[in-house]
Amino acid sequence: MKRLTKAERQENLKERLDEDPFLIDRELAELFNVSIQTIRLDRLELGIPEVRERIKSVARQASSKVKSVQSEEIIGELIDIQLNDGGISILESTEELVLEKSKIVRGHHIFAQANSLAVAIIDADAALTGSAEVRYNRPVYVGERLVAKAKVEKIKGNRFYVKVETKINGESVFKGEFIIFSVKDDLMNREG
Amino acid sequence: MKRLTKAERQENLKERLDEDPFLIDRELAELFNVSIQTIRLDRLELGIPEVRERIKSVARQASSKVKSVQSEEIIGELIDIQLNDGGISILESTEELVLEKSKIVRGHHIFAQANSLAVAIIDADAALTGSAEVRYNRPVYVGERLVAKAKVEKIKGNRFYVKVETKINGESVFKGEFIIFSVKDDLMNREG
């Protein structure tokens, strides 16, 4: 994209963030061919909070719809949810999630994001994982942002077939197929 | 088992713990039909440390053999390992691992124990999960002790087919089949 005037850039910036509120400053800087500092100033002038705040605000709305788990028990930030249909969550690959030596995100964290999303979208008092088939397409490194998208493919009785695909900047890094069981609240407490 | 004399019981106790150092005091008390306090006194007189210490001592030995990950990055206590062959780890279901509402252990923790064990037994500088098929047989509750056993079934080039089964008191609660890739150290650092 060729360099725009400040007014043009700010208008464009606002539009882009309306479409995709999860673009980070670095991505916006590359997009508009300006420095990150310039983007920060643009956001300040436009009154647009930083990406973390934007995600939080969307996450608060989405989380309020979850029934099957406590929303704080979801791994990643839930940013969209339609019960028994689908949902999206975002997980930032922080240092705590990676192997020390290689800085590669541990596979079970990527699994946890997908699995907890698959459970969260179920419209039930509680839901448990029955089985899963997962595939890791490439290593994920510290700093990369994992966007997981879940879709309920089929419902048979209390059995939910959920597909999850996790992407980084549009590139698929993980795919999973989960079978989740919905459970009634009164069956959850074991006898004795 | 009928009530034994103290000397008989202590001798028996020593034998049982030689065979299975991970029996806890409660299990021993049931086995010998005495109080937990009696078992504690027996252990004190015999100079046998509590189960946590016994596990730690075995874990220290096993952990020193792991190459592909830092041993503290394994989920659960590694208690046995033969590189490229098999291994065993133990995970106590503490409050941190369970869903608040149901006290059921979250599926991804059980996955994490199995997955990190499957990676740990690989004889390589580093190892990454390629895919997994897992099945949960029943919910696991707070306080239950998960014993995961991994076995390398097949090796094809840098691809390791690892089966893991997790049991509680001998009852199978989880099965997983993992494909793990060994990676050379110099391939672990991404270009750029």
Residues of chain B below pLDDT 50 = 188-192
Query: Quick one: pLDDT at residue B137?
Result: 95
pLDDT at B191: 37
Distance CA A54, CA A71 (A): 18
Shortest distance between the Cα of B115 and any Cα of chain A, in A, equals 7
Fold category of B6-48 in CATH = Arc Repressor Mutant, subunit A (1.10.10)
Give the pLDDT confidence score for residue A12 in this predicted structure. 92
Contact call for B190 and A141, based on CB within 8 A: yes
Q: What's the gap in Å between the CA of B174 and the closest CA on chain A?
A: 9
Topology of domain B55-187 in CATH is Thiol Ester Dehydrase; Chain A (3.10.129)
Q: Which residues pair with A126 in a beta bridge?
A: A183
In chain B, which residues have their Cβ closer than 8 Å to the Cβ of A75? 108
What is the model's pLDDT at position B1?
54
The residue to which tokens 């608060």 are assigned: A60
> In this complex, is the C-beta atom of B106 within 8 Å of any C-beta atom belonging to chain A?
yes
Model pLDDT, residue B99:
86
d(CA A189, nearest CA chain B) in Å: 7
Residue A122 C-alpha from the chain's centroid? 16
Instruction: Supply A8's token pair.
Output: 């043009």
Instruction: Measure CB to CB from residue A108 to each of B111, B130, B183 and give the nearest one.
Output: B111
* Distance (Å, whole) CA B140 – CA B106: 8
* CATH architecture type of domain A67-187: Roll (3.10)
User: What pLDDT is attached to residue B21?
Assistant: 79
CB pairs under 8 A between A and B: 98
Beta B77-82 vs B86-92: how paired, if at all?
antiparallel
pLDDT in tens, A126-173: 899 999 999 999 999 999 999 999 999 999 999 999 999 999 988 999
Q: In the prediction, which pLDDT does B19 show?
A: 80
Kindly report, as residue ranges, where domains of CATH 1.10.10.10 are found in chain B.
6-48
Contact (CB<8Å) B131/A130: no
Dihedral of the alpha carbons of B151, B168, B57, B35, in degrees to the nearest 10: -160
Provide the ipTM: 0.74
In A, residues 109-148, which contact B (CB 8 Å cutoff)? 111-112, 115-116, 119, 126, 128-136, 139, 141
User: Which segments of chain B belong to CATH 3.10.129.10?
Assistant: 55-187
Per-residue pLDDT of chain A (192 residues; tens, 9 = 90+): 567 899 999 999 999 888 887 888 998 999 999 999 999 999 999 999 888 888 887 778 788 888 888 777 889 999 889 999 999 999 999 999 998 888 899 999 999 999 999 999 999 988 999 999 999 999 999 999 999 999 999 999 999 999 999 999 889 999 999 999 998 755 544 433
Query: CATH 3.10.129.10 residue ranges in chain A?
Result: 67-187
Q: Which helix (H) or strand (E) holds B70?
A: none
Q: How many CB atoms lie within 10 A of CB A188?
A: 16
Per-residue pLDDT at A190: 42
Say what the pLDDT of residue A144 is: 94
The sign of the torsion formed by the CA atoms of B112, B115, B121, B127 equals negative
Distance CA A112, CA A93 (A): 13
A55 backbone dihedrals φ, ψ, rounded to 5°: -65, -45
Q: Nearest 5°: phi and psi at B55?
A: -65, -45
Give the closest of B100, B128, B134 to A104, CB-based: B128
